[in-house]
Amino acid sequence: MRPIIHVENLSKQYQIGMREAYYETLRESLMKALSGQRKRAPEEFIWALREVSFDATPGDVIGVIGRNGAGKSTLLKVLSRITEPTTGRIDLYGRIGSLLEVGTGFHPELTGRENILLNGAILGMRRAEILRKFDEIVAFAEVEKFIDTPVKRYSSGMYLRLAFAVAAFLESEILLVDEVLAVGDASFQKKCLGKMRDVSHSGRTVFFVSHNMAAVEGLCNRCLFIKDGRLAGDGSPHELITKYLAAEAVPENASRDLTQHVGRPGKMSGLMEKVSLRSQDGLAASAIRMGEGFSLYLDFAGTRRFRPNINITVKNYFGVPVFTISTRVQKQYQITEAIASGTLVCHLRDLPLLEGTYSIDLFLGEEYANLDIVYDAISFEVLPADVFDSGQTPLSSEGTIFWPAEIEIIPAAETVTSASPSRA
């Protein structure tokens, strides 16, 4: 199929400091001109995008991923003509609608109705088009009663719903979306994702920049991975998200030297020397995705032989223990031989942990006494994932862990039909 967007060798250079508000005063400029000072040194430039090339065909829903500052937003800004590329070219065979922030141009003094008209015009809709869709927009935003109230009196939820609703009815063939879904409450996010899914099934081309990997994986059929301004990958979302997360999970944080950990209780303080985490693939990793597991490697060196017993407590961000693995309680894991030094390995699989940062306390000792205790020995990240294949991540605000379920309804009538999902 012919591409709707053709991007060729696109590069964008910024002067350092320019992305912050950089401006000189007239006086400075005049002084410079008078003193014969020339332009700034060339090393004060950075490339935000470097020789990026790709084609997109109609119907592509492309997730753009990469860490902060990698160039994702710059790419969208160049595509949407907000800023000019330094070199390269883009051919667009369709109208482009950019949604880099909801509610662009909204004014608090104007009413909901007025803001819809204004915002629609700013996003490039014709007046007739906005008026035709007006009722749909209002219904989607659920603000019918307040449509003639200034938006400064809206709750933040209403404001966001209205702002998103206008944008959701854009009719351009190409749609650029940047992190819009990072805002709003859970039910609003669900609604936005639902709308995004409708859009992505309508044959339009969508670029979706997000740090929400679950949303990217659920919505997109293709992914662009941007690293340091370059296109580091172009392909299936699953493959690239894995690649991205592997690059993100900094190996330096995956290992901690415990000998420097001072002030710890226990009879044989200093027994535990090093703790490290590895991903399921056996690579050093400080981050896993929801539903995945990891392995903990604990190096210890004791002054005498003992029969190791370990307690591993995983605590959430608030320091609340989520679960503990204990060889004292789970007798089947007990180690029977006595040893002075070695490495203890614990494999944790399919963790139902929600997104967030977790910390591990380690208690190593004999059967009845802890010889060495290290609180917060190491921490790890759990990154969002589409664990239920729904395009949405269970929210960390909704609990401590996620858990699958089967739901059925027993009707009031005598006949009972099961509605449990069949995997056939």
Residue (78 or 360) nearer to another protein, CB: 78
Is residue 383 near another protein by the rule CB under 8 A? Answer: no
In the bound complex, what is the minimum distance in angstroms from residue 116's beta carbon to another protein? 11
Least Cα distance to 374 among 290, 283, 311, 322 occurs for 311
Select from 195-203, 289-297, 310-318, 386-394 the region that touches another protein (CB under 8 A). 195-203
Is residue 9 near another protein by the rule CB under 8 A? Answer: no
Full strand arrangement of the beta sheet holding 205-209: 96-99, 174-178, 205-209, 61-65, 222-227, 230-235
Is residue 389 near another protein by the rule CB under 8 A? Answer: no
Supply 242's token pair.
Answer: 């894995």
In sequence order, which residues have a C-beta less than 8 Å from that of residue 377 and are 6 or more positions away?
256, 258, 261, 272, 275, 360, 361, 362
- Cα gap 388→394, rounded to integer Å: 9
- Cα gap 152→111, rounded to integer Å: 8
In the bound complex, what is the minimum distance in angstroms from residue 60's beta carbon to another protein? 9
- Cα gap 201→378, rounded to integer Å: 43
Is residue 21 near another protein by the rule CB under 8 A? Answer: yes
Binding mask 55-94 for another protein (x = CB under 8 A): --xxx-----------------xxxxxxxxxxxxxxxxxx
Name which position in 51, 55, 114, 299 contacts another protein (CB under 8 A): 114
Total of residues contacting another protein (CB under 8 A): 65
Is residue 147 near another protein by the rule CB under 8 A? Answer: no
- Cα gap 386→406, rounded to integer Å: 17
Is residue 322 near another protein by the rule CB under 8 A? Answer: no
In the bound complex, what is the minimum distance in angstroms from residue 166's beta carbon to another protein? 12
Neighbours of 416 (CB within 10 A): 9
User: What three-state secondary structure class fits 353?
Assistant: strand
Name which position in 45, 46, 104, 243 contacts another protein (CB under 8 A): 104
Is residue 295 near another protein by the rule CB under 8 A? Answer: no
In the bound complex, what is the minimum distance in angstroms from residue 85's beta carbon to another protein? 6
33-52 residues in contact with another protein (CB under 8 A) are none
In the bound complex, what is the minimum distance in angstroms from residue 409's beta carbon to another protein? 25
Name which position in 4, 224, 277, 354 contacts another protein (CB under 8 A): 4
- H-only helix segments in 146-273: 156-168, 186-200, 213-219, 237-248
Is residue 117 near another protein by the rule CB under 8 A? Answer: yes
Are the C-beta atoms of 279 and 292 separated by less than 8 Å?
Answer: yes
221-260 residues in contact with another protein (CB under 8 A) are 221
Neighbours of 214 (CB within 10 A): 25
Name which position in 32, 40, 126, 349 contacts another protein (CB under 8 A): 126
Neighbours of 100 (CB within 10 A): 17
Site residues for another protein per CB under 8 A = 1-2, 4, 6, 14-15, 18-19, 21-27, 29, 57-59, 77-96, 98, 100-101, 104-105, 107, 109-110, 114, 117-118, 121-124, 126-127, 150, 173, 197, 200-204, 221
